[in-house]
Amino acid sequence: MLHISRIDVAYGDLQVLWDVSLEVGPKSVVAMVGPNGAGKTTTLRAVMGLLRPAQGRITFMGQDITQTPTHEIVNMGLCLVPEWRGTFSTLTVLENLELGAFPKAARAKKTESMQRVFEIFPILAERQSQRAGTLSGGQRQMLAIGRALMLQPKLLILDEPSLGLAPLIVDDIFKVIKQISTEGISILVVEQNVNMALEIAQYAYVIETGRIVQHDTGAKLLTDERVRSAYMGI
Amino acid sequence: MKYGGWLIAGVLLAALLVTPQLPFSNNKILTILIQLFIVAAMASSWNILAGFAGQVNLGHAAFFGLGALTTRLMWLDGYPLALSFVAGGLVAALFALAIGFPALRLRGIYFAIGTLALAEALNETVSNILPGNSALPGPQLVSYELPSRYYLALGVVLVVVAVAYWLTQARLGLGMMSVRENEAAAQAIGINAFRHKLWAFIISAFLAGITGSAFAYFHVSYYYQHTFTPLWTFDAVLVTFVGGVGTVAGPILGAIFFVVIRDVLATNLTNFHQVIFGVLFILVVLILPGGFLELWDRLRVRMTNSK
């Protein structure tokens, strides 16, 4: 459903992505792994229209979105949970979730989506009138994912969902990601926590210094010599 | 808003409505209240763009000036007051729409500097084209009375506060606040950040415009340029911060404080109120970023905790 084909992306004169191609099919979990500064977040920014590729094409559900404004891309059912989470700290949990259902298509299904989010994250229901800024890191990540789910997206993109979280919380988050994917939402997850990401991913891409250097099923990459030595220290 | 809040607002409004009819009411009281309404409306309208949508506009005086200028010229030219009044707001709103497209592409401090520069350019232009002062001609002077000015200014401040309150309840306002909190995150969840900023700008400008209209109707004689001076912007900024930025009641509270202090001090020490307000502003920014309203919140929390 998402096709990134051969994009080059540059910040001004500084090129950071070369010939990156990636594909996410319907009802699948795809991971993109790689070290810091490899271009993972940049790829996602290009997909969301926050950056424009110099070369190449990005399509979503068969439609070219290479030049589409971000809010329209989101309207089409593609939603990003950024690595800095971007929850609105002075607004309440409830207001944050309501904002998630801002686009027209999502508005009609607001109550239904909210109920579902509260089922997945009961803690958010408990804390709905609390300001987002007073939540813990893990709760804030749940709120960010919950807010994205309010949109009832077709494809959910998660940028470093494990960043800065305690290992136990990371387990919880990945369980939820798995659960969401079984409900028919495709997921593209970008991670430095390679082990976790490859375990839940059907297919994965390894990106290094702006280039895709390897791609295969998650299971195969988990046992791959090179990946193991480079990313898991084994 | 809680029951108590509505009650206080209702009593206050009733008192303000009957004030001109009361036996002890005099021109001095009405004049101070009109000034209070104008300062409160300026602060509250500035707060819609800065406090709700997070865009610090340092050229707010331009909209006040445009509203005042339009209304004054049309009204003295013989157009009905109501028409001149609405036109003042519309001209200000149209100006915001026109400069909003380029200016709102600027972020943070650059938007502040950009709007300040635009307002100053307008200020200079007006002082060159209309260097003189505008005095009411004979017929208007003969029929001049304060209560109608009072009610117009009161009406303006009520409209501004009503719009601000409505925004805190409406989707449009919630969208604005998400842009204030984190523009990139707002965009990432499908909120059109630019459109929300532009709406906030236009609404804020329209309200500043009709505040200017009320000023133009109120004053017997003033220099055209006076309404364009940056002081109108900075008073609104100070008042808003001291009262509580991003809230509905904050700018009103700040305005009451500002006008009272100004009036008390102006009779004794000219312009000393600015020093006091400057010091107060610094103190608020340093120790009470939420303004007086935060003080109130803290007191309330302390009281409920000690029970």
Buried b (16+ CB within 10 A) or exposed e, A56-68: bebebeeeebbeb
ipTM above 0.90, yes or no: no
Interval B220-250: pLDDT, tens: 899 999 999 999 999 999 999 999 999 999 9
Residue B302: inside a domain, yes or no? Answer: no
When comparing pLDDT for B80 and B292, which is higher?
B80
Distance between CA atoms of residues B226 and B132, nearest Å: 10
Tokens of B278: 């400057």
Distance between CA atoms of residues A38 and A150, nearest Å: 31
In chain A, the residue whose alpha carbon lies closest to the alpha carbon of B178 is: A88
Q: Do A90 and B189 touch (CB under 8 A)?
A: no
Collect all residues of chain A within an 8 Å Cβ-Cβ radius of residue B179: none
Residue B270 to residues A60, B40, B265, B300, Cα–Cα distance (Å):
66, 22, 7, 37
Helix B27-47 to helix B193-218 angle (10° resolution) is 170
**Single-letter residue type at A25:** G
Collect all residues of chain B within an 8 Å Cβ-Cβ radius of residue A80: 188
Residue B242: inside a domain, yes or no? Answer: no
**Single-letter residue type at B287:** I
Residue B13: inside a domain, yes or no? Answer: no
Residue B116: inside a domain, yes or no? Answer: yes
Collect all residues of chain A within an 8 Å Cβ-Cβ radius of residue B171: 102
Residue B36: inside a domain, yes or no? Answer: yes
Collect all residues of chain B within an 8 Å Cβ-Cβ radius of residue A87: 185
Task: Identify which of A71, A81, A86 has the shortest CB distance to residue B184.
Answer: A86
In chain A, the residue whose alpha carbon lies closest to the alpha carbon of B180 is: A88
Tokens of A38: 């490899």
Interval B66-110: pLDDT, tens: 999 999 999 999 999 999 999 999 999 999 999 999 999 998 899
User: Does residue A159 contact residue A82 with C-beta atoms inside 8 Å?
Assistant: yes
Strands B221-223 and B133-135: antiparallel
H/E run at residue A211: strand A211-217
In chain B, the residue whose alpha carbon lies closest to the alpha carbon of A77 is: B190
Q: Do A74 and B182 touch (CB under 8 A)?
A: no
pLDDT tops 90 at residue A234: no
Task: Identify which of A84, A90, A147 has the shortest CB distance to residue B189.
Answer: A147
In chain B, the residue whose alpha carbon lies closest to the alpha carbon of A80 is: B188
Number of domains within chain B: 1
Q: Which residues lie across from B221 on neighbouring strands?
A: B135
**Closest-CA distance of chain A to residue B96, Å:** 23
Task: Identify which of A89, A91, A148 has the shortest CB distance to residue B189.
Answer: A148
Collect all residues of chain A within an 8 Å Cβ-Cβ radius of residue B54: none
The parent domain of residue B90 ranges over 32-229
Q: What is the mean pLDDT of residues B198-218?
A: 97
Smallest CA-to-CA distance from B201 within B118, B124, B294, B284 is with: B118
Residue B261: inside a domain, yes or no? Answer: no
Interval A141-199: pLDDT, tens: 999 999 999 989 999 999 998 888 888 888 889 999 999 998 889 999 998 888 888 88
Q: Do B175 and A80 touch (CB under 8 A)?
A: no
> Lowest-confidence range among A81-85, B70-74, B124-128, B129-133?
A81-85
- What percent of chain A stands above pLDDT 70? 99
Tokens of A103: 């686009």
Task: Identify which of B181, B182, B190 has the shortest CB distance to residue A103.
Answer: B190
Distance between CA atoms of residues B41 and B251, nearest Å: 8
Adjacency order of strands within the sheet including A63-64: A14-24, A2-11, A55-60, A63-64
Q: Within an 8 Å CB–CB cutoff, is residue A82 touching chain B?
A: yes
Residue A233 to residues A195, A230, B274, Cα–Cα distance (Å):
11, 6, 65
Q: Do A95 and B188 touch (CB under 8 A)?
A: no
In chain A, the residue whose alpha carbon lies closest to the alpha carbon of B175 is: A99
Residue B21: inside a domain, yes or no? Answer: no
